[in-house]
Structure 1
Amino acid sequence: MIKREIVSVIVPVYNVELYLEKCIQSILNQTYNALEIIIVNDGATDLSEEICMKYAQQDSRIILINQKNAGLSAARNSGIRNASGKYIMYIDSDDWIDNDCIEKCIKEIQKDENLDIVLFPYIKEYKQKKVVVKLFDLDTLYFNQEQTKEFLLKSLFGPTNSINPLKIDNLSTAWGKLYRRSILNEVEFTDTKKISVEDSYYNVQVFYHAKCCKYISNTFYHYRKTNPISLTKNYNLEKAYLRENMYAVKREFVTDKGLGEEFENALNNRVIINLFAIIYGLVCSNISYKTKVKYCKEVLNREIYKKAFKQFSLDELEFKWKCFYWLCRQKKHTIIIFVLNSLILIKRRGVYSEK
């Protein structure tokens, strides 16, 4: 019999009227019902607030917080400050979870007082296909305190072997995990306006304090990816440069905690590997081809990449990635944009499939 400890589920909401009900319903349908559902309406301007109010009136487990728009990080921080549960789970408001997700996580974490985080896989939900993302090859994995530090924590800084740019952030997300509340004390999400990506650094701070972690593969988080290659109206190069602030705070963390050279090398690998995400986002935008080439040149000329490439080895990369990062190292911006632009055009025609 599972002891019915409260799980606080934090759901930040902003303009997701089309998907919000599916998200909330998946939480209400959980086989584990000792829940505190904290919905933070971050100043939504569509019908999201009305939907939240409707469900809050129907189920007393829902706590609705309305605030002025301040961004995802601020919404999650509001949620955690108002949470009273022994355990915490984050769910984004356009996503959903399996009906037995929380129960399966609770079973694991209540069996071991040293277990602080349960991780589970996710499914990328596109309109016409699903892509299952298993975090590890084995069905279950247990990480003691030393293994949590040497593998999971280090992976949040960057890869050290078997480098795959498409998998570099599989562990970084705040969702897809059940956290023991006690290890989250005094840890908050940093505003994306300061570091571009909030989840990775948040988990760095959390996993540093974790005793043990466990991975289970028999339940899923469903991550909505409505369009696999959606166009953005504009490409904000300055936002891409904000990643450099994230690298800076992670580097400071390595120094402050005395984590050592291996962590510094992992972070250096991340600096280079993230170039793909930056340039791919650039190519997927609807700015002109000429501007894409110009921006790519600007990125590759940044001093941070010049320095990082001096320590970066191509040896651990598959051939296609070795080619890409060799072109980046040589600053072949025109070739890079031409090749990626061509691949994306093929993908939009349904020929190129995600691996």
Structure 2
Amino acid sequence: MFQKGKVSVVVPIYKVEKYIHRCVDSILNQTYKNIEVILVDDGSPDHCGKIADQYRDKDDRIKVIHKENGGLSDARNHGMKQVTGEYTMFADSDDWLKENAIELMLHYSLRYQADVVQSAFYYAYEDKLLIDNRYIDANDEPLELDNQILMYELVKNEKVKNFAWGKLYKTELIKEIPFKKGVLFEDVFWAHQVMHNVKNFLLMHQPLYYYFQRDDSIVATYSPRNLDIIKGLKVRHQFIEKNYERLIDASYIAILKMCLIHYNLLFMNRKKDKNGIYRKEIQSYIQTNYTKLKNAVKYDKQLNTQLYLFSLHPYFNIAFLGLRRGLRSIRVLSHPPGLEQVEVNLKKEVLAE
């Protein structure tokens, strides 16, 4: 049996010596004290393992696991084996929490009898905080979603995010659902399995989690391994076809968007895609499923256009997007709504934690 009222926080650790104190301190300093913190040293080659042990020696709420490097999924799976709390959260070791995050999320979980609670979050940079205000107002009351609406929102990945972090789960809901090892974007392979079993999902609008954005450019650091996200969406699509027939078109749209994005990234990183093997795979998928994709995007003018141009030749779509960027730069086209900067001193915000 899991300990009633206790919240377990699983934190995988790997090469984050620069950030680990900010993360762990933000959890230990929570206003809600009935927690356990499971630090999983995933064979980190720096001093992270030693730092984790130092925390354990100072606070008996901390457990430390040292293991050979196996990746984020493997670390989370090892951490889950040690969970004793009625509720579980995941935090990435370069992110951090608002000091009242757990207290508020648990309060609303109990108030609404929610299986999972998701808070809003900040995109945290070294010098600024950004937030996606398209769908939220921090002053709004939490929004309850039943399973059907939840799965639709998960597939869209706008209001409900595929991220494992930023959510408070009833432990019994996730205990027997491991993360897929050996892949990037492991949350995409995992989230739909969890949400399929959720009866009541609560969407909070207050930002309680800081999602740290490193300076590395996705173009500069891009690797074909990033294509795992498309693999994850295809695995999820098979699940959708079996269990949520009405969401098949939405799932196709999610896959198409990701295929187009990654084709362009591969084009910009042609040296990493010898003989265009990965681009050909994407092109083959779109050609094979063209009729189904065309039907899915029939009400989306831009995606419909992109799909048509891509089917003629992928470079036509690239040229189309380049033209749109150019028109935006001279303000002929308006920029799509996106992230807004929050007027807050980040250093003070961090110190407040």
TM-score relative to the length of structure 2: 0.80
- Determine which of 207, 231, 239 is the counterpart of 1:253: 239
- Determine which of 256, 259, 262 is the counterpart of 1:278: 262
Partner amino acid for 1:218? Q
Q: Does 1:331 align with 2:332?
A: no
Partner amino acid for 1:142? L
Count of residue pairs the alignment pairs up: 326
SS in 1 for 2:10: strand
Question: Aligned ranges for residues 198-237 of structure 1 at < 5 Å?
Answer: 198-227=186-215, 229-233=217-221, 235-236=223-224
Q: Is the 8 A contact 2:151 2:195 kept in 1?
A: yes
Counterpart position of 1:163? none
Q: Does 1:172 align with 2:174?
A: no
- For residue 337 of structure 1, report the CA deviation from its aligned partner: 7.1
Counterpart position of 2:35? 35
Note closer, same or farther for the CA distance 1:217–1:299 as it changes in structure 2 (3 Å cut): same
Task: Please list the CA deviations of residues 229-272 of structure 1 after superposition, one character each: whole Å capped at 9, or x if unmatched.
Answer: 35535632xx35544542443244235xx424212222222210
- For residue 211 of structure 1, report the CA deviation from its aligned partner: 1.7
Counterpart position of 1:148? 146
Identity of aligned residues (%): 24
SS in 2 for 1:202: helix
SS in 1 for 2:190: helix
Counterpart position of 2:25? 25
Question: Aligned ranges for residues 304-343 of structure 1 at < 5 Å?
Answer: 304-312=285-293, 313-317=296-300, 319=302, 323-333=305-315, 336=318
Measured in 1, the distance between the counterparts of 2:158 and 2:264 equals 15
Measured in 1, the distance between the counterparts of 2:22 and 2:337 equals 26
Measured in 1, the distance between the counterparts of 2:325 and 2:220 equals 17
Note closer, same or farther for the CA distance 1:103–1:205 as it changes in structure 2 (3 Å cut): same
Measured in 2, the distance between the counterparts of 1:63 and 1:86 equals 16
| Range with greater deviation from structure 2 (266-275 or 307-316) | 307-316
Counterpart position of 1:164? none
Q: Is the 8 A contact 1:197 1:246 kept in 2?
A: yes
SS in 2 for 1:155: helix
Counterpart position of 1:191? 181
Q: Is the 8 A contact 1:135 1:170 kept in 2?
A: no
Give structure 2 stretches of 5+ with no counterpart: 330-334, 339-353
Q: Is the 8 A contact 1:282 1:292 kept in 2?
A: no
SS in 1 for 2:146: helix
Measured in 2, the distance between the counterparts of 1:176 and 1:205 equals 17
Counterpart position of 1:14? 14
Measured in 2, the distance between the counterparts of 1:137 and 1:56 equals 38
SS in 1 for 2:94: coil
Note closer, same or farther for the CA distance 1:104–1:169 as it changes in structure 2 (3 Å cut): closer
- For residue 328 of structure 1, report the CA deviation from its aligned partner: 2.8
Q: Is the 8 A contact 2:310 2:316 kept in 1?
A: no
- For residue 106 of structure 1, report the CA deviation from its aligned partner: 0.8
Q: Is the 8 A contact 1:9 1:37 kept in 2?
A: yes
Measured in 2, the distance between the counterparts of 1:48 and 1:276 equals 38
- Cα RMSD of the aligned pairs, angstroms, is 3.4
Counterpart position of 1:51? 51
Give structure 1 stretches of 5+ with no counterpart: 160-166
- For residue 341 of structure 1, report the CA deviation from its aligned partner: 11
SS in 2 for 1:232: helix
Q: Is the 8 A contact 1:11 1:92 kept in 2?
A: yes
Counterpart position of 1:124? 123
TM-score relative to the length of structure 1: 0.79
Note closer, same or farther for the CA distance 1:80–1:297 as it changes in structure 2 (3 Å cut): closer
SS in 2 for 1:173: coil
